Amino acid sequence: MSAKWLELLKEIAPNVTRVAVIRDPTRGPGIGQFAVIQSVGPSLGVELRPINALNRVEIESAIEAFARSSNGGLIVTSGGTGQNRDLIVPAAARHRLPAVYPFKYYVTDGGLISYGPNTIDLYRRAAAYIDRILKGEKPADKAIAVRCDVSDDAQVAAMVDSTVDEFGRLDAAFNNAGVMGPYRSDLRQHPRKTGTA
Q: How much of the chain is helix, strand and coil, in % rounded to 5?
A: 50, 10, 40
Tell me which CATH homologous superfamily contains domain 2-114: Response regulator (3.40.50.2300)
pLDDT recorded at residue 187 = 41
pLDDT score of 183 more than 80:
no
User: What are 135-153's pLDDT values in tens digits?
Assistant: 887 766 666 666 777 777 8
pLDDT recorded at residue 82 = 79
pLDDT recorded at residue 133 = 78
pLDDT score of 172 more than 70:
yes
pLDDT score of 186 more than 80:
no
pTM: predicted TM-score of the whole model, two decimal places? 0.64
Taking the C-alpha atoms of residue 40 and residue 111, their distance in angstroms, rounded to an integer, is 23
pLDDT recorded at residue 181 = 41
pLDDT score of 176 more than 60:
no
Helix boundaries (H) for the chain: 2-12, 28-40, 56-67, 85-94, 104-108, 119-134, 153-167
User: What is the SS3 assignment for 100?
Assistant: strand
Beta bridge partners of 47: 18
Confidence of residue 169 (pLDDT cuts 50, 70, 90): confident
Q: For the chain, give every domain's residue range.
A: 2-114, 119-167
pLDDT recorded at residue 195 = 37
